[in-house]
């Protein structure tokens, strides 16, 4: 009986571990896609080039109740506090850039 309990616990732990690894893999794919799809090459707050003199971009996940999480990329961590003063203003700038990028992208249709 003890062997059956140990086996059941071991199987449950292995299943949970496998699920955690898959979930982590899914999240890393989503993060990579979010970075690749990010519409700006400059910091939304300072206007400095992302990955420029300030080093690697600082990626921030903006969370708002009832809405999907949003990636916001800054030139540095210090820009986060300015972003938090008026997030709607900066999110609109990101949305406008994304709309312009989508509009400018080729549709793949040939005439």
Please tell me whether the overall predicted TM-score, pTM, comes out greater than 0.95 for this model. no
Convert the pLDDT of each residue in 58-72 to its tens digit: 999 999 999 999 999
Average model confidence (pLDDT) across the chain: 80
pLDDT reading at 1 higher than 70: no
Residue range 14-18: mean pLDDT, rounded: 43
What token pair was written down for 29?
A: 């794919």
Convert the pLDDT of each residue in 18-33 to its tens digit: 333 344 455 677 778 8
Phi first, then psi, for residue 59 (nearest 5°) are -90, 125
Residues 6+ away with beta carbon under 8 Å from 9? none
pLDDT score recorded for residue 31: 73
Three-class SS of residue 15?
helix
Please give the distance of CA 43 from its chain centroid, rounded to a whole number. 15
What token pair was written down for 39?
A: 């519409």
Q: What residue spans define the domains of the chain?
A: 1-37, 39-104
Counting beta carbons within 10 angstroms of the beta carbon of residue 26, is it exposed (0 to 12), middle (13 to 18) or buried (19 or more)? exposed
pLDDT score recorded for residue 32: 80
pLDDT score recorded for residue 14: 42
Give the pLDDT band (50/70/90) at residue 43.
very high
């Amino acid at each position: 009986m003890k062997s059956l309990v140990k086996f059941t616990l071991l199987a449950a732990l292995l299943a949970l571990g496998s699920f955690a690894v898959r979930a982590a893999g899914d999240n890393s794919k989503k993060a990579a896609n979010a970075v690749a799809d990010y519409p700006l090459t400059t910091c939304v707050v300072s206007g400095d080039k992302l990955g420029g003199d300030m080093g690697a971009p600082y990626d921030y996940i903006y969370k708002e109740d009832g809405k999907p999480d949003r990636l916001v990329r800054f030139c540095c961590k210090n820009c986060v506090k300015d972003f938090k003063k008026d997030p709607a203003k900066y999110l609109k700038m990101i949305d406008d850039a994304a709309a312009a990028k989508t509009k400018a992208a080729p549709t793949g249709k040939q005439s």
